[in-house]
A and B are shown apart, each in its own frame.
Chain A
């Protein structure tokens, strides 16, 4: 699986959009970009994934650049409950896929 690079931390004000960047310059054509988050003392939670098109669900939007070498997770209206570690993961889908987590980016939402 391709490696990902994320800044270690960022913060944003409550109610504003949080834009979390991720670089994955060695991504292969059959690899997807997944985002998970982990709130303190809980297990990771799936957020969203995509291949090459932008994706949106009730939690977030995922913007993938045309060359697929980077992506941005957007939380449109961050709340204090969104304070967590966010992991960007690149992986193939398949029955034996395993997730390779890095250290993620710690998002702190301030009041």
Chain B
């Protein structure tokens, strides 16, 4: 149990729709990262937020966007969904006061795009 919670756990959308995924970070953690994990692959870094500002982005298009709130909870928004967006989306939190490579992951939100 990492203390990182994500919602919803599963959802189904159709191509072209928009989706919002939510994450509640572990208490005391001020940095949140989002990852996309396609079936059979390792997680791929989408972006990271620190103190409500985007602080690093992977190779994902602008239709992937995020927010971090003052209480350090976070959202991942994906617009104009494509079939290839079907994946497990993982949220991870960390405290910049400790080793930043040590991330605490949630259980993920599994998105299916039809």
A residues adjacent to B (C-beta < 8 A): 32, 34, 41-46, 49, 85, 87, 89, 91, 93-104
Contacts and interface: CB of A to CB of B under 8 A. Distances in A.
B35, B44, B103, B106, most chain A CB atoms within 10 A: B103
B34 to A, nearest CB: 10
Given A43-B105, A49-B102, A96 B55 contact: yes
A98 B50 CA distance: 13
Nearest 4 CB-CB pairings of A with B: A101-B42, A43-B105, A98-B45, A96-B56
A41 B106 CA distance: 11
9 contacts: A34-B102, A42-B108, A45-B2, A46-B104, A49-B99, A87-B42, A93-B100, A97-B101, A98-B33
Interface of B: 2, 4, 31, 33, 35, 40-45, 48, 50, 55-56, 58, 90, 92, 96, 99-108
A40 to B, nearest CB: 11
